Amino acid sequence: MPDQDRQFLGTFQDRLAISRESAAVTYPGLLCPSKAKGTLHPVFPPPRRNIRRQLFWMVLVALLVRLIVVAFIYPRDLDPSFNHWFFGFEEGRVARAIATGHGFSDPLWGHTGPTAWYAPIYPYILALDFKLFGVFTTSACIAILCFQSLVSALACLPIFFFTRRSFGEGAALAAGWVWVVYPYSVYWPIVRIWETWLAMSLLAVLFLLVQKLARSSKLSHWLSFGLLSGFAALLDPALLSVLPFLALWAVWRLHSQGKRWFAPAVTAVLAVILVLSPWMIRNAVVFHKFIPIRDNLALEFRVGNDGNARETMDLYAGPWLPWVNDIEWNQYQRMGEIAYFQLKGHQAFRYIEAHPLWYAGMTVRRIGFVWTGFWSASSRYINEQTYDPAAVSLLTLLSVLMFMGLHRAFRKKGAGVAMPYAIILFFFPLIYYLTHVERWYRCPMEPFVIALASYEVHARAAAWLRRRRAIRAAYRLPAMLPPPRQELPAATFSESD
């Protein structure tokens, strides 16, 4: 700050203290002393903003934006080619089997029998949609896209509340409104019928609940967390990469405060087991093997680690494209799901053992892709990914602001506020670093990325505004204040008077 500005700020502070003391004497009803000795605060504080109204408009605008996009994009999901493949992909096939009375089965192109390829919650949501509106109909498509749009719009609420609890109301409002128009929060829930968007909102709610658990040892709160965590695991098991660590952090916080922690922790664990048990029993009975939730992890390793580095994953290494290469599809049909996935796992690990440097390089590329969206600079890849330069610019900027916000949170707010964010950002993408990545895989992290980036931008903007206002006030105050009182010279008298 220039010396001239420092001089005016010093004058401003000195005269402001004098003017406040004078105002307290002249207008005793205007200011009142606070509990802290020597400080004065207004008797009539400024009115609090109507947060409920802002949240209502936030959700409404977010929903309208998404529904407008739905009106333009929904025909894509109704494409009858490939047997309505884009209507839910594998989960859409399973939902069709459920709705037509074949049970949780047939994830691909024919009747292949029972499956544990996917967790059960979202296929059953799709099956309900098919029961109400018909299988792969226009009404069913519009209904599920409106549901996903509503889920994405309602995510504004937990984002606002956990950001406000961490960083204040200004940053929370900024995060909420950014979410309203954030391209990934609008685009992906409409383009892809998938469970990720519901899992994203559910993780935001669980994060908000964890912030409360860190101060509460009430068994009912921990029971709710356990039941909701079990439901989240049956929706998207990837959430289990962070939920146990968030729970352990809350337990440690209780322990550090001298509150009971063992009974709450046991209650949450038992609640999770209670929710997961029916599905685990079903898998054991059907497949005669212990399968916690899904059985496809080996296939995910294979399609991301077969030597093909041109794309983020190699669809030809799996059974998805029988019209191009029917070898994998026939093998899947002949061997069955469990044996086929085991074979893919062995192939993936053999390739990684034979090419460790290649795997290390691919892991680094996947890490970069998660945070920047950049995969390849080849002309072929860029031509196929039309919007890739814009996406890379947006994700890179957002990630930089997010890491700056996380650093500021640790420095200004402490580990008690920043650590839950760090847990999600560190642990959630680990499995994708090791297997393979797609653009929408980072979506469950987006609410926390937005919160930290908004906190960083809001903090910098607030600091800049404070400096500007102080400088302006310092320049303006000398003209506003009356001149200092001049002492009259003492009267002098001559002897003649």
Q: Give pLDDT, residue 19.
A: 46
Q: Give pLDDT, residue 78.
A: 82
pLDDT digits (tens, 9 = 90+) for 224-274: 999 999 999 999 999 999 999 999 999 999 999 999 999 999 999 999 999
Q: Dihedrals φ, ψ of 41, to 5°?
A: -135, 155
Alpha carbon distance 105, 282 (integer Å) = 13
Alpha carbon distance 421, 221 (integer Å) = 21
Query: For residue 198, is it within any domain?
Result: yes
Query: For residue 7, is it within any domain?
Result: no
pLDDT interval class at 311 (50, 70, 90): confident
Query: For residue 321, is it within any domain?
Result: yes
Alpha carbon distance 215, 250 (integer Å) = 8
Spatial CA neighbour of 66 closest among 125, 145, 174: 145
Which whole-number Å values give the CA distances from 68 to 154, 216, 343, 391, in the listed order? 16, 42, 45, 21
Mean local confidence (pLDDT), 34-47 = 40
Q: Give pLDDT, residue 488.
A: 54
pLDDT digits (tens, 9 = 90+) for 160-215: 999 999 999 999 999 999 999 999 999 999 989 999 999 999 999 999 999 999 99
Share of the chain above pLDDT 90, in %: 67
Spatial CA neighbour of 180 closest among 64, 293, 287: 64
Alpha carbon distance 336, 284 (integer Å) = 16
Query: For residue 314, is it within any domain?
Result: yes
| Tokens matching residue 450 | 């937005």
Query: For residue 479, is it within any domain?
Result: no
Mean local confidence (pLDDT), 453-472 = 90
Q: Give pLDDT, residue 48.
A: 53
* Residue-range definition of the domain harbouring residue 283: 51-459
pLDDT interval class at 473 (50, 70, 90): confident
* Region of 136 on the Ramachandran plot (φ > 0 left; ψ -120 to 50 alpha; else beta): left
Global confidence as pTM = 0.85
Spatial CA neighbour of 197 closest among 75, 94, 62, 76: 62
* Residues 446 and 200 sit within 8 Å (Cβ to Cβ): yes
Q: Packing angle between helix 196-213 and helix 183-191, nearest 10 degrees?
A: 130
| Tokens matching residue 325 | 């290469």
With 90 as the cut, is the pLDDT of residue 218 above it?
yes
Query: For residue 365, is it within any domain?
Result: yes
Q: Give pLDDT, residue 321.
A: 82
Lowest mean pLDDT among 11-20, 128-137, 400-409: 11-20
The chain-wide mean pLDDT, for the chain, equals 86
- Number of domains composing the chain: 1
Alpha carbon distance 152, 158 (integer Å) = 11
Torsion 320-322-323-324 (CA) sign: positive
Spatial CA neighbour of 324 closest among 334, 315, 333: 315
| Tokens matching residue 262 | 């063992």
